[in-house]
């Protein structure tokens, strides 16, 4: 008798978050193949802002005139409003990455609604009305899909990751992975907050190597408003 209940539970869990997440990721891949901005890369950063790392990252981007898209966590944005204001003033895009960085697998519909409303309200108090949403770990559930439509948000996934949040990834390894995996038109997902201790610093060190090289190769950088 236990097996049917386990199967039913798996089906319910799959329909709640796995199926909608898989559909959105597939839709992203199909959209990407319809047309690329040749020679353009889209740098995106998740999980910030971080008082230890985000200002240094903004300094680096300003040095090379590179614009990026930041998917910020409402709690961290509220704690560090000066970093959000700086992102906006320097021409970067600020997107929504949840209020508390919890997986949609682990949230009930009511918790999901509170996460959206609380996180978006925190950004609104900072003068930011996001147009783009990246779900933590790339996971959405049926409730978050309804909220995306209600708030007219565009979900954004990615083409390239370098696992830069891990403790055992060096800056040199991040450089190697990004060189090998990146193609023109790609959305790169990196991190300026959370992760293992010091991880965002290694991401910044990798970009200090890669940004001048990519620019010398003729790549341009744009925010997601220019994607597609």
Contacts of 213 (CB under 8 A, 6+ apart): none
Token pair of 183 as six digits: 């193609």
| d(C-alpha 171, C-alpha 181), whole Å | 15
| Sign of the Cα pseudo-torsion (124, 126, 132, 137, in order) | negative
| Regions in the chain scoring below 50 on pLDDT | 1-14, 34-35
| Sign of the Cα pseudo-torsion (154, 139, 201, 99, in order) | positive
Q: What is the structure's pLDDT at 25?
A: 62
- Between helix 199-216 and helix 171-181 the angle, nearest 10°, is 40
pTM of the model: 0.88
**Residue 41, SS3 per DSSP:** strand
Q: What is the structure's pLDDT at 23?
A: 55
The distance between the two most distant Cα atoms of the chain, rounded to a whole number of Å, is 64
* Per-residue burial over 183-201, b = 16 or more CB atoms within 10 Å of its CB, e = otherwise: eebbbbbbbbbbbeeebbb
Active site positions, annotated: 46, 191
Whose tokens are 């900072």? That residue is 126
């Amino acid at each position: 008798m236990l097996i049917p209940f386990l199967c039913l539970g798996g089906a319910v869990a799959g329909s709640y978050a796995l199926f909608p997440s898989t559909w959105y990721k597939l839709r992203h891949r199909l959209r990407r193949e319809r047309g690329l901005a040749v020679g353009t890369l889209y740098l995106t950063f998740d999980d910030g802002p971080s008082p230890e790392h985000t200002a240094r990252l903004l300094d680096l981007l300003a040095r090379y005139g590179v614009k990026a898209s930041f998917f910020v966590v409402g709690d961290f944005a509220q704690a560090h409003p000066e970093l959000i204001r700086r992102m906006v003033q320097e021409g970067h895009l600020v997107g929504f990455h949840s209020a508390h960085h919890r997986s949609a697998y682990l949230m009930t519909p009511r918790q999901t609604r509170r996460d959206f409303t609380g996180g978006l309200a925190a950004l609104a108090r900072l003068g930011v009305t996001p147009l783009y949403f990246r779900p933590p770990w790339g996971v959405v559930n049926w409730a978050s899909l309804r909220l995306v439509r209600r708030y007219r948000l565009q979900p954004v996934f990615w083409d390239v990751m370098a696992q830069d949040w891990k403790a055992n990834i060096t800056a040199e390894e991040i450089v190697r992975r990004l060189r090998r995996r990146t193609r023109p038109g790609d959305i790169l997902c990196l991190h300026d907050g959370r992760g293992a201790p010091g991880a965002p610093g290694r991401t910044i060190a990798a970009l200090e190597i890669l940004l001048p090289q990519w620019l010398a190769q003729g790549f341009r950088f744009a925010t997601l408003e220019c994607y597609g």
